[in-house]
Amino acid sequence: MKNSPILNGKTPAAAGYSMPAEWQPHQCTWISWPHNRESWPDKFEPVEPATARFVGVLSRSELVRINVLDAAHEKHVRQQLEGYAHSANIAFHHFPTNDAWCRDHGAIFVKRSGPDHPLLALDFQYNAWGGKYPPYDLDNAIAAKMAASIYTLCHSVPMVLEGGSIEVNGAGALLTTEQCLLNPNRNPSMSRDAIESTLCDMLGVNQVLWLGEGIVGDDTDGHIDDLTRFVAEDTVVTVVEKNRSDENYQALAENRERLDKLKLADGRPLKVLEMQMPRPVEFKGDRLPASYANFYIGNRVVLMPTFDDPSDEPNRALLARCFPDRDVVGIDCTDLVLGLGALHCLTQQVPTA
């Protein structure tokens, strides 16, 4: 393991670092602009306008940093953003990527109090969800580039981990799934205990809470950000399926039962709020991982995927009650989700130092 000089042989947790909750203040949000047409086969044209709408809303209240391929790509993306984004809150970086999913290939940032290096970037290894989509060498190099560009030290971690596979409450608890983190296509030599220990050492958490399986169509092997999200230190929203004949029913029901049994380290049970899943979203007969849980919490907005579904508005209203100090804005992700991800998958927050 490459140990950053500020750690002086300590783990990030021992040096006082921890991962903030997503609702804590950001200095910016980072994305990698969609460009890989193979991720949206036969339907790439609507993807950039949808991304522009999303970035436009977010840029009203915080800086958005965008990875692009080169100067020509930057010019193209600027044209896409015209009429949507607040240009003063857009910064471009010529960091070429293989794909757009910055939540998974981007740096994960932890912070500590005090003036001495308050922010640290963690560079976990990235293998495109178990080697499913080579090549991924450019994506695996992004975390260190992000850190260097904002003058933040970077700590390399020899463990495969995607940001979409973890969810923290900023107070010591981390949620994840067995289907993803215990999958042998990620870290076959690591036991469950070793994985938990590494998460605690790197992210400054003191407990790891496990759910089971993810939703149908999720090629990430069950990322938590399509299932269950913290909206407060002791509260989660989780997607449920009421239709017993739906292929998501059993896995989501089992996760719901687990949530009722989970407790925080101080003994408090989790408060659980339910979000009804949308009707199946399909493309050419394939079920897509459409989930309302893939929302993103900005400084002053919450951006929630919508799918032209009767459950869009009830779920938006639920999130509005959870975040009364933020505008909750629905973004149509019917086309975006063909790439097997949505708003949270596209983003990575950088906390304020």
Element (H, E) at 181: helix 178-181
Which run of H or E residues covers position 155?
A: strand 154-160
Let me know if 102 is a catalytic residue: no
Strands 26-32 vs 64-68: parallel, antiparallel or unpaired? parallel
Q: Which of 28, 180, 333, 345 is catalytic?
A: 345
What angle, 0 to 180 degrees and rounded to 10, lies between the N-to-C axes of helices 47-58 and 71-81? 70
Do you find a cis peptide bond into 135, omega within 30 degrees of 0?
A: yes
The one-letter code for the residue type at 352 is T
Identify whether the C-beta of residue 111 lies closer than 8 Å to the C-beta of residue 88.
no
Q: How far apart, in whole angstroms, are the C-alpha atoms of residue 106 and residue 163?
A: 8
Residues 214, 223: Cα–Cα separation, whole Å:
6
Rounded CA-CA distance 191/283 in Å is 37
Task: Please say whether the beta carbons of 46 and 335 come within 8 A.
Answer: yes
Residue among 166, 174, 304, 145 nearest 225 (CA) = 166
* CA–CA dist 154, 35 (Å, integer): 27
By annotation, the residues acting in catalysis are: 345
